Every structure is written in C-alpha cells, then in structure tokens.
Amino acid sequence: MTGRLSGKQALITGAGRGIGAAIALRFASEGAALLLNDIDAAAVAAIAEECRKDSAAVHVCVADVSDPSAVERLFDEAVAALGGLTVLVNNAGIGGVGKTILDSDLDEWNRMIAVDLTSVFLACRAAVPLMRDTGRGSIINLSSVTGVTGTAGSVPYASAKAGVIGLSKALAKETAHWRINVNAIAPGLIDTEMSRVRGQSSSAADLLWPRIGTPDDIAHLAVYLASDEAEFVTGQVISPNGGAVI
Ligand code: NAP
C-alpha cells in the first residue's frame, strides 16, 4: 500500500488508548509497518486489530517502558518483527497527580521520572544505532505544555516533560549527521483519559480555539514529523495547544 509513511518501520509506545492509539491508526492508514507497545495487553491488542484493516504489518509488544530489560526486549522485537526501525514515537506516559510539592513523596517523583523521562532515554538509546545503520530515522517524543510553562500541582510531571525537551534537543544535535531527526511534541489540553482524570476545566479556560484538542490533532502532526516531508525539521518543540500558550 502507498501512503505518506509507506516503507517506514515505526514503534509507538503507549498505543493502547488516547494519543498513542490515534497515532497508531493514522500511521497504519499512511502505510507504515508497526510495532505497537503498551503496558495494557488487551487495549493494545484491540488497537492493533483496528490498524490491521489498513496495514498488514502490525505487531504488538506488551512492556513497561520504564523497565530497562523490558525496553531491550521491545527493541529486539522491533528488529525481529519489522526488520529494523526508522520511526520511534515515545508517547507512553502517566499524568500529574495534582499535588503540591509539600504533599508529594519521593516514590511518586521517582515513578513519574521513570515512566515519563527515563523511558524516553532508554528507548532513544536503543533506537539510535538501528536508525544510524539504516541511514535515516525520526524520533518523536511526547512532552507537554506543562514542560514549557509549568503548572501548579505538577512539579514531577513538569520536570519530566521539561526533561523530554532537553533530551530531544541534545539528541538532535548528536544525531543529525546520521540523518536522524528528533523533535518534541508539547500538546496542550487533549481529550483523553489522562486529562479527564486530572480534570479539564482549568486548562480549558486558557484555550483561544473554540474546542479542546483531540488525539487526532496530535496524530496529524506525528504523521508529518515521521514523514520525509519533515526531514529538515529537527530539535524543535511543536505545541498544538489551541492558542493556550502563544
Ligand atoms: P493516556 O490516555 O493515559 O494513554 C497513555 C497510554 O500509555 C495508556 O494506554 C497507558 O496504559 C500507557 N502507559 C502508561 N504507562 C506505561 C508504561 N510504563 N509502559 C507502557 N505503556 C504505558 O494518555 P494520553 O493523554 O494519550 O497521553 C499520551 C502522551 O501525551 C503522554 O506522554 C502524555 O504525558 C502526553 N500529553 C497528554 C496531554 C493530554 O492533555 N492528554 C497533554 C500533554 C501531553 P494504561 O492505560 O494501562 O495506563
């Protein structure tokens, strides 16, 4: 099948629901071969089944991306199932718990940093040699406007998401000569389980656009960043946020 991503071999983490699921479905419709990851086996199996309506090559690997040995297994699976890797979307994440620093404990901090930041480091470190050997690659890391502006009650989340931006910029500088571009997407309020649990009303009040974001708003951008059309775009933080932050 032909599409903007035909010939691409893509790994998407946290693809069982929300933004990751929307990216998986758009990538399949654009012809990419896929390895879909999530910690929730049933959820990711269901999304993979939907993706197979468009792309014959859709594989699943259930893994906790904060666990270094599970990430190794995930990339072994990428090589075995896809024969290599040209696109990595680090999307899996957990949201802020809405506590001030005075109510936060170290275990919550460590868990947030492990899932939202260390996972990105582990996956990028595993992906770069595969992309370098192919001579081309695109890495897309999900940050957040909270990582750019900060949000009260989100010190661990904001720290992890700001870290994703720093990681993406530094890695872009290390990998451009191998034709690997690295970009961060920093969404504003997107209607998913994560934002519903946290509560959407205070962030919705900041929007200029007359609706909140959808997972597809992010998936459209991810398709562009994964495609050859975005080859000259690297080290950037792109923030679809409905004008909440200008
Ligand atoms: P979501 O609806 O909660 O989906 C996240 C997915 O990642 C879930 O399927 C979740 O599985 C999975 N996941 C969580 N921890 C994992 C782990 N350790 N290993 C593998 N998979 C794991 O979240 P979302 O709103 O789509 O967010 C996706 C990304 O966008 C996140 O990085 C988030 O921080 C970022 N983001 C979201 C918004 C927003 O407004 N929604 C705004 C800015 C940035 P379970 O269901 O089992 O937990």
Domain segments of the chain as ranges: 9-238
Asked if 233 contacts 214 with a C-beta cutoff of 8 angstroms, the reply is no
State yes or no: pLDDT of 223 exceeds 80.
yes
pLDDT in tens, 137-157: 999 999 999 999 999 999 999
Give the pairing of strands 58-62 and 137-142. unpaired
Task: Kindly give the number of the ligand 1 atom that is closest to the alpha carbon of 65.
Answer: 19
In residues, how long is the chain? Answer: 246
Task: Kindly give the number of the ligand 1 atom that is closest to the alpha carbon of 218.
Answer: 30
Rounded Cα gap, residues 128 and 16, in angstroms: 24
Beta strand spans in 22-136 (E): 33-38, 58-62, 87-90
Q: What is the mean pLDDT of residues 7-16?
A: 98
Asked if 29 contacts 220 with a C-beta cutoff of 8 angstroms, the reply is no
Q: What percent of the chain has pLDDT over 90?
A: 93
CA–centroid distance, residue 91 to ligand 1 (Å): 7
Phi, psi of 170 (to 5 degrees): -65, -40
pLDDT in tens, 51-66: 999 988 999 999 999 9
Rounded Cα gap, residues 52 and 132, in angstroms: 29
pLDDT in tens, 121-139: 999 999 999 999 999 999 9
Q: Whose CA is nearest to atom 7 of ligand 1?
A: 14
Q: Which of 194, 195, 209, 216 to mutate to test the pocket of ligand 1 (most atoms within 8 A of CB)?
A: 194
Q: Which of 64, 98, 58 is nearest to 81 (CA)?
A: 58
Does 224 participate in catalysis according to the annotation?
Answer: no
Q: What is the pLDDT of residue 43?
A: 98
Task: Kindly give the number of the ligand 1 atom that is closest to the alpha carbon of 161.
Answer: 34
State yes or no: pLDDT of 37 exceeds 90.
yes
Q: Residues with beta carbon inside 6 Å of ligand 1?
A: 13-14, 16-20, 37-40, 43, 64-66, 91-94, 115, 142, 144, 187, 189-190, 192-195
State yes or no: pLDDT of 1 exceeds 90.
no
Cross-strand bridge partners of residue 61 = 37
Rounded Cα gap, residues 75 and 54, in angstroms: 24
Q: Which CATH number does the domain 9-238 belong to among 1.10.3720.10, 3.30.70.1020, 3.40.50.720, 3.30.342.10?
A: 3.40.50.720
